[in-house]
Amino acid sequence: MSASTAEPIAPPVGQLALQATAISKHFDGVAALTDARLDVRPGEIHALLGENGAGKSTLIKILTGVYRPDAGSIASDGEPVHFAGVKDAHQAGVVALYQELSIVPTISVAENILLGERTPNTAGLVRWPEANREARRHLDRLNQRIPVRRLAGQLSPVQQTMVAVARALAADARVLILDEPTASLTDTEIKDLFAVLRSLRDEGVGIVYVSHRLEEVFELCDRVTIMRNGSTISTRDVADITIEGVISTMVGRDPGELFPDRGTATDRAVVSVESLTGRRVQDVSFTAHAGEVIGIGGLAGSGRSELLCLLAGAQKATGGTITVAGRVLPAKGDVGAVLDAGMVLVPEERRSQGVSLNASIQDNIALANLEKVSSGGWVSARRVTELARRSMENLRIKARGPRQHVGSLSGGNQQKVVLAKMLAREPHVLLLDEPTRGIDVGTKAEIYRHIRELAAQGTTIIAVSSELPELIGLSDRILIMHEGRISGQVPAEGADEELLLSYCYGRNA
């Protein structure tokens, strides 16, 4: 793989819908983009890939007028353009959909679709029947039957995404940029979305698709542009590349061992769960040992996350017992007692449950470990900073310093802060819920390595994941749940994805 050298970008076919050349952008003197390029043809689905922090989001925001570039040029339909704001980009037909910012929940579907300056009106008075008809027309184009007068907040996630796509259509989008649109969708919903995207492509819309799920990219996209460290490395036809090639281009090296070696498990039982029963969990029993990584899998709704909640004391158990290092935990769900027993949970939703985005790295870590940084009720600023520095070093958190706000870090580094906060408690048992969701490959490998290091030091790790390769690569032992019960238990080494999947569907092979 000659991935490290920049390859020439394929010559354009016909007129390009959007072309960004040599874009650079700095924030507070730190380069976010140095030489970003992207060209989008009409009627193609173009994947934009890169690790977290590679500059994808910044580039998208420049293409849609949210940020202005320091240097470089953008052309729309061959004409040079300068976007001073989102409105300008909309007028040029460049519209982006953001995963967490797709709709306004408190207004109707129709209003969401016509948001911006597109509501039909006479001298400022909205013509409602026409507005509703117009909104319905855009939804019809997407083959969606969503009541246009319903509050958008009452829709399912995929319907909300569809509403956002319809809004882009209402804005006459010729270039549609989607940022991780499938993160909260089920497999069937993803299929629906893909069908819609393909039909838009066939109508001549140029689609830029940002995703961490490489399988999706290969299923859906025509071309792919890969970014690394703020620069565009390569643009290729999807037919000409492999997943391995994409990964090595993204990380700039061979993926090598994504997962570290196993073999740290001991015979000393640390957590024993007996006939545990609670909401969505039925009669679950297992034992976890010091130095062991246990992976828990299952389909969404199988009870895997609820099991973790029961263990963490966030939910009430109605039957069974949990014993940690010889101590039986109270059944009523007592987070304090669980923490005292040396067991901590790293939650899935890092933005809402894991970190305070508005606070600094050091405050996030210190708040979870006040007893470590205070004496007699007084918090020592010096110890707060020291603790943060140690954690940042340990987990290789990339930041300007311990005082940087967590909200301004990349997703992978935010996740590391969540981990750091919990690890500073020096737990005996670490509960992880989707430890690498929405994180790029490079950071994933680091987090896996770190988990295994902890196991080598004797920590017991129980990780829930929806990704089977992750379960297989990371764990020593895998438990699969189905309808609240453990439907299969296998050693991870050499485990077969098909077998695991059949357990997931409750078919005992």
User: For binding to other proteins (CB under 8 A), which residues are involved?
Assistant: 64, 66, 85-87, 90, 96, 98, 101-107, 111, 115-117, 119, 121, 124-126, 128, 145-147, 149-151, 153-154, 167, 171, 188
Quote helix, strand, coil % in the chain, to nearest 5. 35, 25, 40
Helices (H), 313-360: 335-340
Q: Which is nearer to other proteins, 128 or 286 (CB)?
A: 128
Q: Which is nearer to other proteins, 429 or 468 (CB)?
A: 468
Q: Which is nearer to other proteins, 189 or 274 (CB)?
A: 189
Q: Which is nearer to other proteins, 116 or 401 (CB)?
A: 116
Task: Give the Cα separation of 52 and 246 in Å (integer).
Answer: 15
- Residue 167's SS3 state is helix
Q: Residue 116 CB, nearest distance to other proteins (Å)?
A: 4
Q: Residue 162 CB, nearest distance to other proteins (Å)?
A: 13
Q: Which is nearer to other proteins, 66 or 368 (CB)?
A: 66
Note whether 168 and 196 are within 8 A (CB).
no
Q: Residue 66 CB, nearest distance to other proteins (Å)?
A: 7
Note whether 409 and 417 are within 8 A (CB).
yes
Q: Which is nearer to other proteins, 44 or 111 (CB)?
A: 111
Token reading at 384? 């707060």
Task: Give the Cα separation of 175 and 182 in Å (integer).
Answer: 19
Q: Which is nearer to other proteins, 145 or 382 (CB)?
A: 145
Using CA atoms of 311, 313, 317, 319 in order, give the dihedral in degrees to the nearest 10: 60
Task: Give the Cα separation of 93 and 21 in Å (integer).
Answer: 18
Note whether 437 and 348 are within 8 A (CB).
yes
Q: Residue 123 CB, nearest distance to other proteins (Å)?
A: 9
Q: Residue 395 CB, nearest distance to other proteins (Å)?
A: 30
Q: Residue 101 CB, nearest distance to other proteins (Å)?
A: 5
Q: Which is nearer to other proteins, 107 or 379 (CB)?
A: 107
Q: What's 220-286 look like in SS3?
A: HCCEEEEEECCEEEEEEEHHHCCHHHHHHHHHCCCCCCCCCCCCCCCCCEEEEEEEEEECCEEEEEE
Using CA atoms of 496, 310, 154, 209 in order, give the dihedral in degrees to the nearest 10: -40
Token reading at 488? 């299969």
Backbone torsions φ then ψ of 322, nearest 5 degrees: -120, 125
Q: Residue 500 CB, nearest distance to other proteins (Å)?
A: 17
Q: Residue 152 CB, nearest distance to other proteins (Å)?
A: 8
Task: Give the Cα separation of 461 and 343 in Å (integer).
Answer: 10
Q: Other CB atoms closer than 10 Å to residue 461's CB: what's the count?
A: 24
Q: Residue 148 CB, nearest distance to other proteins (Å)?
A: 8
Q: Which is nearer to other proteins, 54 or 155 (CB)?
A: 155
Q: Which is nearer to other proteins, 102 or 436 (CB)?
A: 102
- From 116, 103, 100, 112, select the one nearest 149 (Cα to Cα): 112
Q: Which is nearer to other proteins, 87 or 403 (CB)?
A: 87
Q: Which is nearer to other proteins, 337 or 359 (CB)?
A: 359
The CA–CA distances, whole Å, from 140 to 112, 154, 163, 501 equal 15, 19, 11, 36
- From 166, 25, 41, 157, select the one nearest 95 (Cα to Cα): 166
Task: Give the Cα separation of 473 and 466 in Å (integer).
Answer: 13
Q: Residue 93 CB, nearest distance to other proteins (Å)?
A: 12
Gap between the terminal Cα atoms of the chain:
40
Q: Which is nearer to other proteins, 48 or 131 (CB)?
A: 131
Question: Please, what's the b/e burial string for 193-217 (b: 16 or more CB within 10 A of its CB; e: otherwise)?
Answer: bbebbeebbeeebbbbbbbbebebb
Placement of tokens 């956002």 in the chain: 164
